[in-house]
Amino acid sequence: MKQMEDKILAEGKVLSDQVLKVDSFLNHQIDPQLMKAIGMEFAERFKDAGITKILTIESSGIAPAVMAGLELNVPVVFARKRKSLTLVDDLLTAKVHSFTKNETNEISVSKKFINADDTVLMIDDFLANGQAVNGLMDIIEQAGATLAGVGIVIEKGFQQGGELLREKGIRIESLAIIESLENGEVKLKKEVPTK
């Protein structure tokens, strides 16, 4: 998605060979017009997939997920990383380890909001090692729902997540794929459509 790639090149800050900072439009301040375009792009790519629900994980997945939900006219559910005061029973849970932050969170979703009739589109801001996607897949499986595919705003192509998930036959649609962050420079990869 050209608009996304242009934004990364204009505003992304390379923090190291591994980490790209995009807090001016995705991880802290949010660019609503860009989110709207992102939502439209995901909706276009998954419009024939029979999506009934979008699943993401707090916090930075929520904005793109809501915009996609608006376009596809389906509800959006976000997995919580922390225990909620009101969300106490009938939970589906999974463990998600973050290599970046070196911490493990137990994520949870109420059984009420995902069930066996659902065809789920998963959306997240970053795909690195694929731990968040694996955790959400675990939850979808426990619910007996069907995973239609995964929409990712920025994939780090030099980390393993994308490759491992595609090898499993999962449809991954990334709006921008970073090939490398070496020498303080963002190198983008030409996206190969999965459909």
Residue ranges for the binding site for xanthine?
20, 27, 156
Contact between 16 and ligand G4P by CB under 6 A: the answer reads no
Q: Which of 19, 21, 74 is nearest to 46 (CA)?
A: 74
Nearest CA among 22, 26, 27, 1 for reference residue 10: 22
**Looking at this protein, which amino acid is placed at residue 2?**
K
The secondary structure of 136-178, three-state, reads HHHHHHHHCCEEEEEEEEEEECCCCHHHHHHHCCCCEEEEEEE
Nearest-angstrom CA–CA distance, 62 and 35: 10
Instruction: List the one residue out of 52, 92, 58, 56 whose CA is nearest residue 75.
Output: 52
Give me the least distance between CB of 181 and ligand G4P, in Å please: 8
* Residues of this chain, 28-57, that bind ligand G4P according to CB under 6 A: 57
Q: Which of 125, 140, 143, 177 binds ligand G4P (CB under 6 A)?
A: 125
Sign for the CA dihedral angle at 91, 79, 127, 159 comes to negative
Instruction: Confirm or reject binding of residue 126 to ligand G4P (CB under 6 A).
Output: yes
Annotated binding site: 20, 27, 128-132, 156
Is 34:46 a contact under the CB 8 Å cutoff?
Answer: no
Among 39, 69, 130, 157, binds ligand G4P (CB under 6 A): 130
Span of 1-9, 35-43, 122-130, 168-176 interacting with ligand G4P by CB under 6 A:
122-130
Number of residues near ligand G4P (by CB under 6 A):
23
174 binds ligand G4P, rule: CB under 6 A: no
User: Given candidates 2, 90, 101, 192, which one binds ligand G4P under the rule CB under 6 A?
Assistant: 101
Nearer to ligand G4P, 52 or 76 (CB): 76
Residue of 71, 45, 57 lying closest to 195 (CA atoms) = 45
Task: Restricting to residues 63-92, name those near ligand G4P by CB under 6 A.
Answer: none
User: Which residues contribute to the site for ligand G4P (CB under 6 A)?
Assistant: 19-22, 27, 57, 59-61, 98-101, 125-132, 156, 161
